[in-house]
Structure 1
Amino acid sequence: MARVLIAGCGDLGCQLGTILKQQGHEIFGIRRNIDNLPSEIEGIECNLFTPICDLPEKIDYVFYIVSAAKYKDNDYYQAYVLGVRNLLKALKGHPVKRFFFTSSTSVFSQSDGEWVNEESATEGHGFSTNRLLEGEELCNESTIPSTIIRFGGIYGPGRTHLIDLVREGKAHCMENVWSNRIHSTDCAGIFAHLMNLDMQDASAVAELYVGVDNQPTPSCEVYEWLAEELNVPEVDHQEPSENSRQMRSNKRLSNERIRNSGYEFKYPTYQDGYAELILED
């Protein structure tokens, strides 16, 4: 049994905590308000952006799953730099085996539809990616072993923005622009898989993973499929400007490393995930 701390225990953190509790681990979750945490998670009411309160003793694994409240530099600084720094400082003296940090594939700057993996170059091209890379650097420089997971576009229950846009006739897709996504269930599944893999053999866990499903897809193909499934009019297609290509991150992301580690996706394609969401709607 491991003692696990989940910092930023929102939707993904609660999914992860529930999975790990069912596997027999002891789970602690940090949130500003712990009233709505599931019973499987012992809440720690704490603000990560201020000097952190006392933590439970002998934490084995830490998951940092914090997101910025707003698309502003200060919010990204707090979420991906200040919070990480405060937590790493508070963990001094704990026998932490691994610190898992949630990052984003937006740090990859490629935009010509090329294949991208963990070895591909990154580039800070705005405050958001700069702050994400700062947070990654803090993890890499820490004395605690760390693993960074760069997730693509996350969808799932409560994350149905694209379905809503298509249904309401407000969606516009960009021609010849690749997109990459992952179901929230697989985000939590990857976290749990890597922690359990580390418990078996720490050398088997890499320092970096790309977290996307098996099927990079042109965005218009996804929109068209959704429109057909929802029985609504076709989505408007637009020719992207060079700026919009970059904004929409035109690349194909490979998940080969996480699959080779033994993880099996519950939702390997966007059709698998969105079909279930549409049925449940």
Structure 2
Amino acid sequence: MSEKQVFIFGAGYSGKAFARANPDGAKIIGTTRSAEKLEALRQAGIAPLLFDGKLTSDIGEVLEKTTHLVISVAPEDAGDPVLNAAREAIAGMPDLEWIGYLSTVGVYGDYGGAWVDETAVCRPVSKRSVMRVEAEQAWQKLGREIDRPVAILRLSGIYGPGRNALVNLENGTARRLVKPDQVFNRVHCNDISGALWHLIAGNRGGIFNVTDDEPGPPQDVVAYAASLMGIEAPPEIPFETAQLSPMARSFYGENKRVANAAIKAAGYRFRFPDYRAALDHMWASGDWRDGAPRSPMKGQAIPGKV
């Protein structure tokens, strides 16, 4: 068996969290579109390469020795950029054991707040989610053709160090929009990385919702974060009167509670089963800003806040 080598197409926020975990000490190579981000990948333990939609000789050489492939690149009008550029190379990878594709729970569309699991019909609303469904199907098709397991991880709203309600409160961007009965699903980046490594360990394929146990109103998350910081939560704003970008408003056009039984049945246990557990941990450890532990500032005033 070949030594484990993971290649990440699109090593962004989730990819860097995955690489920092690395329980197997595997060699990890990942791509970015920007030369300015190469050093950030190195600091996360990723050997960086540039990928702008074309298969370079450097990437081709690395794929020859890769055992596990993770794709975290959004589809485009022309299809999946990775498959468009490297389908033939991937199909011919001699050591490939497993493929993981990071998708989104947006593929389910709107279910009026009802629970959905992996057996639910995908009825995507936005164009970006329609393209996700097509990309999922394309990767599954490739897996069948080359007889390799493909894991589709449907992710909910991603948060973690540097990207959470505590940060938003500190920088003054937190808002408490209230739309009756609206809930969102969310997952800490460490549980994305944990689920990925768990599936890699068993070379397990299938479709898995990677989302925590508790879908909830977004305004409640902000209020809880404010209570940890010892500050007053921002006032509630009715959704009807809120100033929102078209994309932000589109998220409120979908309402569902996403179940996570499949990934649990595969043996994964969430480190942060709800937003309170995650915010408690980040606040206590002080890693909520950027992952670097700091002393909590409970009770201290935040600039611009009273």
Matching of residue 157 in structure 1 with residue 157 in structure 2: no
Report the Cα distance in structure 2 between the residues aligned to 1:29 and 1:117, rounded to whole angstroms: 31
| TM-score (structure 2 length as normaliser) | 0.76
Matching of residue 46 in structure 1 with residue 46 in structure 2: no
Report the Cα distance in structure 2 between the residues aligned to 1:104 and 1:185, rounded to whole angstroms: 16
Identity of aligned residues (%): 22
Report the Cα distance in structure 2 between the residues aligned to 1:155 and 1:249, rounded to whole angstroms: 19
Kindly provide the amino acid, as one letter, of the partner of residue 253 in structure 1. V
Report the Cα distance in structure 2 between the residues aligned to 1:80 and 1:276, rounded to whole angstroms: 39
Report the Cα distance in structure 2 between the residues aligned to 1:89 and 1:44, rounded to whole angstroms: 22
Q: Show CA shifts across 1:40-99 (max 9, x none).
A: 7453523241234323223211001225xxxxxxxx407961233323332232132221
SS in 1 for 2:41: coil
Q: Match for residue 31 of structure 1?
A: 32
Residue from 63, 66, 80 that aligns with 1:59: 66
Q: Match for residue 235 of structure 1?
A: 235
Report the Cα distance in structure 1 between the residues aligned to 2:15 and 2:155, rounded to whole angstroms: 14
* Greater mean alpha carbon deviation, residues 188-197 or residues 138-147: 138-147
Are 2:41 and 2:48, in contact at CA under 8 Å, matched by a contact in 1?
no
SS in 2 for 1:158: coil
- Seen in structure 2, the aligned counterparts of structure 1 residues 222 and 17 have a Cα distance that, compared at 3 Å, is closer
Q: Match for residue 73 of structure 1?
A: none
Report the Cα distance in structure 1 between the residues aligned to 2:103 and 2:228, rounded to whole angstroms: 31
The Cα shift of 1:177 comes to 0.8
1:160-175 equivalences under 5 Å are 160=164, 162-166=165-169, 168=172, 170-175=175-180
Q: Match for residue 70 of structure 1?
A: none
List runs of 5+ in structure 2 lacking aligned partners. Answer: 290-306
1:54-93 equivalences under 5 Å are 54-56=60-62, 57-67=64-74, 76-77=75-76, 81-93=80-92
Q: Show CA shifts across 1:194-244 (max 9, x none).
A: 00022xxxxxx3410001011122333323323333321353152669x96
SS in 2 for 1:213: coil
Q: Match for residue 10 of structure 1?
A: 12
Q: Match for residue 19 of structure 1?
A: 21
- Seen in structure 2, the aligned counterparts of structure 1 residues 225 and 147 have a Cα distance that, compared at 3 Å, is same
- Seen in structure 2, the aligned counterparts of structure 1 residues 176 and 38 have a Cα distance that, compared at 3 Å, is same
Report the Cα distance in structure 1 between the residues aligned to 2:177 and 2:78, rounded to whole angstroms: 30
Q: Show CA shifts across 1:137-176 (max 9, x none).
A: 210110243111010000001212x444455363323221
Root-mean-square deviation over aligned CA pairs = 2.7
Are 1:175 and 1:237, in contact at CA under 8 Å, matched by a contact in 2?
no
* Greater mean alpha carbon deviation, residues 8-17 or residues 224-233: 224-233
Q: Match for residue 118 of structure 1?
A: 118
List runs of 5+ in structure 1 lacking aligned partners. Answer: 68-75, 199-204
* Greater mean alpha carbon deviation, residues 207-216 or residues 84-93: 84-93
Report the Cα distance in structure 2 between the residues aligned to 1:48 and 1:274, rounded to whole angstroms: 35
Q: Match for residue 298 of structure 2?
A: none
Are 2:175 and 2:219, in contact at CA under 8 Å, matched by a contact in 1?
no
Are 1:55 and 1:90, in contact at CA under 8 Å, matched by a contact in 2?
no
- Seen in structure 2, the aligned counterparts of structure 1 residues 39 and 170 have a Cα distance that, compared at 3 Å, is closer
Kindly provide the amino acid, as one letter, of the partner of residue 16 in structure 2. C
Are 1:166 and 1:235, in contact at CA under 8 Å, matched by a contact in 2?
no
Are 1:18 and 1:40, in contact at CA under 8 Å, matched by a contact in 2?
yes
| TM-score (structure 1 length as normaliser) | 0.82
SS in 1 for 2:14: helix
Are 2:223 and 2:233, in contact at CA under 8 Å, matched by a contact in 1?
no
Q: Match for residue 132 of structure 2?
A: 132
Are 1:175 and 1:219, in contact at CA under 8 Å, matched by a contact in 2?
no
Larger Rg: 2
Report the Cα distance in structure 2 between the residues aligned to 1:35 and 1:268, rounded to whole angstroms: 32
Are 1:17 and 1:40, in contact at CA under 8 Å, matched by a contact in 2?
yes
- Seen in structure 2, the aligned counterparts of structure 1 residues 90 and 253 have a Cα distance that, compared at 3 Å, is same
Are 2:117 and 2:258, in contact at CA under 8 Å, matched by a contact in 1?
yes
Residue from 260, 263, 271 that aligns with 2:265: 260
